[in-house]
A and B are shown apart, each in its own frame.
Chain A
Amino acid sequence: MTRCLLPLCLVTLLGVPGLGWAQGVPSPASEPRTVEVDVRARDGGMGLSEEDATRLGLTGTDGGEATLVPPTLVADSPAAWPEGLEGTAGEVVLELLLDEQGQVAEATVVQAPAEPKLVEAARAAAPGLRFTPATLGGKPVSVRVPFVYRFVPPPPQPVLATLSGTVRAKGTRRPLADASLFVDGAPTPATVDAEGRFTLEVPPGKHTVEVRAPGHRPRTFEETLAAEQRLEVIYRLEPGVVNPYETVVRDERERTEVTRVTLHEQEIREVPGTLGDPFRVVMLMPGVGSIASGISYPVVRGSQPAATGFFLDGVRIPMLYHLLLGPAVVAPDFIDTVDFYPGAPPVQYGRLLGGAVEGRITRPREDRVHATATMDFINSGVFVEAPIPSTGTSVSVAGRVSYSALLVSLMANALNEPGAERVRADFWDYQARIEQKVGEGRLRLFALGSSDDVGLRPGETHEGDQGGGITSRFHRVDLRGTHPLWGGEGELGLTLGVDELSLVGLETRRVQGELEALQVGEYALRQTSLAARARWTRRFGDTLELGVGGDFEHRRAAVVVTGIALPPGYKGTEPLDPIKSPSSLANFGGAWTELRWRPSERWTVIPGLRADSYHLFPGLTHTVLEPRLAVRHALRDTLTLKGGAGLFHQPPTVLLHLPVVDTSGLRYGLQEGLQLDVGAEWTPFPGLELSSDVFYNPLARTVELDIAKVAENRRRRDLALRDPAASGYSYGFELMARHPLSRHWFGWVSYSFLQSKRRVTFDRYDDNEQVVETVTDTLPFAFEQAHVFNAALSYKFDSGWTLGTVLHFNTGRPETGEVTSAPQRASTDEDGRPIWVRESRDRAGRLEPFFRVDLRVAKSWVYDDFTLDLSLDILNASIQSEVLGYEYGYEPWTEEPTLLRSPMSLPIVLPMLGLKGTY
């Protein structure tokens, strides 16, 4: 192969002016003729000497000096090796005479190699060279330049090896698309594709590959490759901070609600005291009170817990926790974010008087198989997600099962308590999702269900031994399709639901001479529902977005009472009263529309309207309209003012969602309330978000049934009921300062002030417990906690340790008799002996304030393809007892009866040592 090093030669030549030629010096007056002069190097280029320039009349044209612009090669003309001499080394130095057109006019051999045929070859090739013409004082001139043809034998052909592979995050196996590979210290890295894959060709031998990716610790690998070897490798980089929760990167959703707190990743999985359950975190949000510490059904802005709806991607779910205090019924891995609307939720949320909590299901990950397994003292769970790329399908399943039976058995043996092994507290749940791409849309089938079963097995040695249990189950199957429609996005959903809450009585009876535990009675609330929903949203330009939707639900609810569950007085025919005999059939229908309007960069106005129809067969229909409005105004980029109002309705509620009851309760009419909320959101600097809300919720009509009253009403049969309807209001304000999830930590502080009142009719009693007066007054509602303070902090160290704590404080609820004791006062009987008698509600005191500290310590270990987390989570590590009521009795062991009011409290401490593996 011939290589030409022309530029180097030219510069060398021109740098040595003595090597130029002059063919004579013309006078200015003479005829033009060819002269040859030397050029010399000067500051700023090459040129003629002043003397030559003057002589040739070239001064004055370009500042007094004649500057030579040398020619540059524009077309190469390589010389070919002469036949038979291929690869022979040699160097031919030519001197080329270039004419004013830049063509080679002449080539003279200045230096020849040993092989003369190479000179021939160089000379033959030289005329093919083309240069830009050299100029002198701006005019093309002919110049002589040296030119070297260097015949360099080609290097021996190298035999390469191929190194290919993937760069992943250690533990999560996430491909690192932004990884760089530096081979043998090369300054320029090789990169990887979106899947983290790379292919490198390297010479055989030993190589070092340094792999770097943002957020991960760099790591150097050594590879030794033989010639032509293909080596497939996986390079795993350890993340700087271990985060096993791999989630799909999401856009920050535009805020169109008055108040929404959105939590995700560690914020829903690593908050102390929550057992890693996303929905529990809501208990620490502003505006939330509690029934009792550990029971994670929020009391939102002083409403009954049942007034707050829990949704999973738009599907309302009836219960959240196993055994009320236990783990969540939905695997946390299925939950991507939790949105909490403490007040004035958007128009999609209907048939609710209070707030809404929406868990958004994770989008299926389509890259590879994912799996999670958890294990703790009482239960184990598993979550598996697998894509099927060939069909565009994704399948996810999760399940959990308790092994409390084993635990109880072990404890019974340890305590040597006969009969203790007959206690059971079993639960399980499942979730399954199949998601399929269909054209431009997606189809999703999501099923979930849960079962709790606690009770006591009767003894097997005596006839007549009794036992029983309470079982709570639900199942939901939801089919949802989303597809582009009319320039927007359409969604259609169909949900089938089954709910059951039953008490079962067991008794040991003799069957054919053998003692057997038989079911002898059942009290069951059973409900099936079929629901459909539709939604369509579309943007119109940059300022408008329209959403319309509707939903319909048909419910069939029945009460089954058999055997020993039959109450006294049961004759087989019950009065046709929906509460007393709550077998019922109902239809719920709703339609809504919402407009998101951004008249300017800083204003967002969202008017909405919802219409609902509640129909209880036969012939009872309530139809309501619910206008809603939310307005947001960004005063500055960091400060937004907001306000909202809306009308809300809900069927009568009992403490918690119970199947059947909210359907049959329609007989008592709807609850109606207005929600008014104003507030501000301010981000003074990145890493700190402040928000405040002031709300006022006038409640025109409430039907908040006490769970004991519901039972009493059933017993009351034909006797008249006191109208359960009341009215009231709640108001308060909420403050929150939040450090959102960052690399190492997150946390928040929230404070809520709440007043929730109801205008109710109640009795006053005399010393003989007889009702002497029935009065109506405005009193604190059973769930009013005036002050609630929460602080949560979680810090993740580079070492893989995470430490977190939560501090909670609340003032006490009033002692109303609802989920607490009924107030009593001291009095004396006719013999002058002290007795307790019932105190009227308006004179009731409050339960004592309560605080607790929760702790969470966790350690993560990253293995090549999975991570392992060991966590110790303790709700109420402070072992504080919350007073839930008072016992009104007498001092023991006293001669004279002495009244004693003793608090009923129990330190509800939930310690949970859990192990979690994530693949």
Chain B
Amino acid sequence: MRRCLFLLPLLPLALACERYPEDPVFAYGQVLRADGAPVEGLTLGFERGVNPNTFVTGGYVDPPPAFAPYASATTLADGTFTLELTYGALDGWHQKKDESYRFRAAPPLDEQGQGVVGSFAISRGDVELPPLRAWETQLAVTSGAEGATLTFAQPPPAPERPISARVPTYYGSDGESQVVDATRPQPVVQLHGADGLAWQRPEATSPLTLGAQVLEDFALEAQVRAMGVGMWFFEPLGGASSDVEFRLEWRSGRKALAKGALLPVSRGAACWPPKEGACPWTDGKLAPVELSTRPVLVNPNKPSPVEPPPPPSGPPPTEVDEVGLTLATPARPSRAVIRGLEAGVSYPNVQTVVVEGSDDGLTWRPLGSAPVPGREGEEEDPYGMFFNARLGWAGDSPHDPPLLVEEGPVFLELPLTTAEPVKHVRLTVRPQSGTPVLLYLISELSLFE
């Protein structure tokens, strides 16, 4: 501890370095409206939850912890607040508990339903939190026969690094270093159906046009969201060093779209691997369908648990590497809309979604393919510094479903080409070479002529 080093000559005074669980820790922040006006007199609640030690790979999203109200702070005229916590509130180490905690603050949404949610893991001492300023999304929706058009404002800027903070530095194998600032938020457009997510477009630009196939025959609500993660280190001279890892998630209110009017040829088709009842990815319902059994792995970014988790019990794991459907009558599909597809990860991480057709279910010919976009956060988190906040905390918003941008479920609209009608259509995700990877989830696979 640097503070102790300085006090070495003041040996007995160095006892002041000893920190006790009840010692206060302060977090400084600010709450602003979407227009930048400070929010005064707000009692901002902070909920605390225990970070889980494991997470489910392939799905990326930890189930959000059970957040419970823990502390609150009141904003001043300039919107700033000082949250008082205790050193012992940050983790369970002083009590020999293998637990770390994170805090969540969600200022009330504004009249348009706009708002911001912050999640923070505070370590060791005082920190400055990124300002909680709602995003003026200016989301507008225009619906027509050909689909819908969405317009929205530029995404919020990445939180500015405070003058007292440092950011992580990535040291490459070539000896070069690179400071890693908070990620730049990108707009993510989502279309929500009654029972699940119908569409998601990361890195969306305004205006965004969504075709009739995307809208299918669903009653949908449009929303634009954005997410930024980062980490700030504080090493104030003469004080205790500390850090905060944060995730900020902005949202717009949801706007209803005119109901879609296009029915896919695949609706109601039989499918494999066989599922009980009607095929769940051709039934027009957006609920995700589990395919392969997910392995439980230790989060590499979190401390090992004291004891390894027990092996999963129950039926042997299922391994699914393709899904398919059988059309009632052969058809010539020209477009496939894949919703909520989650597949395993391969190395090198270049994967392609492949849709093939067959007359007999034995011989397959390609109908179309497209690369899986942006896996492993290559764009937003190239050094994997913010793994936890980006993935593990994706479900922290109390308002919306988990927001995963690059590693999230894949929503693809794929042009298909076939000279002859096909009876069977299958979908795989293939790495650069080798066998297809496992598939974990799919919400809906729709084919349009």
By a beta-carbon cutoff of 8 Å, the part of chain A in contact with chain B is 291-292, 295, 323-325, 425, 454-456, 463-464, 466, 468-470, 503-505, 521-523, 563-572, 655, 707-708, 711-712, 715-719, 765, 769, 771, 817, 819-822, 824, 829, 833, 835-838, 884-885, 887, 890, 897, 904, 906, 908
Contact = CB atoms under 8 A, between A and B. Distances in A.
Nearest to A838: B22
B30 to A, nearest CB: 9
A711 B239 contact: yes
Given A567-B126, A568-B126, A718-B76, A323 B26 contact: no
Interface in B17-33: 18, 20-22, 24, 26, 28
Interface string B155-170: 0000000111110010
A568 B84 contact: no
Given A567-B164, A568-B162, A503 B237 contact: yes
Nearest to B11: A906
Contact of B95 (A325, A711, A835): A835
Given A469-B6, A565-B236, 12 more contacts: A468-B5, A470-B7, A523-B236, A567-B234, A568-B28, A568-B126, A711-B239, A717-B82, A719-B26, A833-B95, A884-B12, A908-B11
Contacts of A292: 11-12
Interface of B: 2, 5-13, 15-16, 18, 20-22, 24, 26, 28, 76, 80-82, 84, 86, 88, 94-97, 125-128, 162-166, 169, 177, 234-239, 242
Contacts of B11: 292, 325, 884, 906, 908
A426 to B, nearest CB: 11
B128 A769 contact: no
B15 A503 contact: no
A228 B6 CA distance: 74
B431 to A, nearest CB: 38
Nearest to B238: A503
Given A708-B16, A904-B15, A569 B26 contact: yes
B86 A769 contact: yes
12 contacts: A454-B8, A455-B6, A505-B237, A566-B164, A568-B128, A568-B242, A571-B80, A707-B16, A715-B24, A719-B84, A821-B18, A884-B12
A571 B165 CA distance: 12
Nearest to A575: B76
A800 to B, nearest CB: 35
A209 B11 CA distance: 61
Contacts of A463: 177
B164 A569 contact: yes
A707 B236 CA distance: 17
A885 B96 contact: no
B68 to A, nearest CB: 14
Contacts of A454: 6, 8-9
A568 B96 contact: no
Nearest to A291: B12
A295 B12 contact: yes
A570 B16 contact: no
A881 to B, nearest CB: 12
Contacts of A835: 95-96
B163 A570 contact: yes
A568 B86 CA distance: 16
B392 to A, nearest CB: 24
Nearest to A707: B16
A568 B164 contact: yes
Q: Which secondary structure dominates where chain B touches chain A?
A: mixed
B237 A568 contact: no
A157 B67 CA distance: 123
Contacts of A717: 26, 28, 82
Given A522-B237, A829-B95, A819 B6 contact: no
Nearest to A833: B96
Given A570-B164, A715-B126, A716-B26, A838 B20 contact: yes
B236 A568 contact: yes
Given A570-B164, A765-B22, A769-B22, A564 B237 contact: yes
A716 B127 CA distance: 12
B33 to A, nearest CB: 19
B164 A324 contact: no
A568 B12 contact: no
Contacts of B80: 571, 718
A523 B12 CA distance: 22
Contacts of A568: 26, 28, 125-128, 162, 164-165, 234, 236, 242
B96 to A, nearest CB: 5
A716 B12 contact: no
A523 B82 contact: no
A455 B169 CA distance: 25
Contacts of B82: 569, 716-719
Contacts of A819: 12-13, 15-16
B239 A567 contact: yes
A553 B305 CA distance: 62
Complex A-B, nearest 9 residue pairs according to Cβ-Cβ distance, in ascending order: A569-B28, A565-B237, A566-B164, A292-B12, A503-B238, A568-B128, A505-B237, A568-B234, A567-B236
A324 B10 contact: yes
Contacts of B236: 523, 564-568
B313 to A, nearest CB: 24
A774 to B, nearest CB: 13
A765 B5 CA distance: 31
A715 B242 CA distance: 14
B128 A569 contact: yes
Nearest to A817: B20
A568 B241 CA distance: 10
Contacts of A563: 237
A466 B164 CA distance: 16
Given A567-B126, A568-B164, A715-B126, A523 B238 contact: yes
Nearest to A831: B97
Contacts of A521: 237
Contacts of B81: 718
Contacts of B86: 769
Nearest to B9: A323
A244 B22 CA distance: 57
A708 B22 CA distance: 14
A829 B92 CA distance: 11
B237 to A, nearest CB: 4
Contacts of A464: 169, 177
A712 B28 contact: no
Nearest to B177: A463
Nearest to A655: B13
A323 B16 CA distance: 17
Contacts of B13: 655, 707, 819
Contacts of B128: 568-569
Contacts of A708: 16
Contacts of A655: 13
Given A568-B126, A906-B11, A468 B237 contact: yes
A566 B237 CA distance: 8
B24 A712 contact: yes
Nearest to A463: B177
Contact of A425 (B9, B20, B242): B9
A569 B237 contact: no
A470 B128 CA distance: 25
A422 to B, nearest CB: 12
Given A716-B82, A835-B95, A324 B9 contact: yes
Contacts of B8: 454
A291 B13 CA distance: 9
Contacts of B7: 470
A463 B166 CA distance: 15
Nearest to A765: B22
A707 B13 CA distance: 9
Contacts of A838: 20-22
A836 to B, nearest CB: 8
A568 B21 CA distance: 20
A890 B93 CA distance: 12
A204 to B, nearest CB: 69
Given A568-B126, A569-B164, A890 B12 contact: no
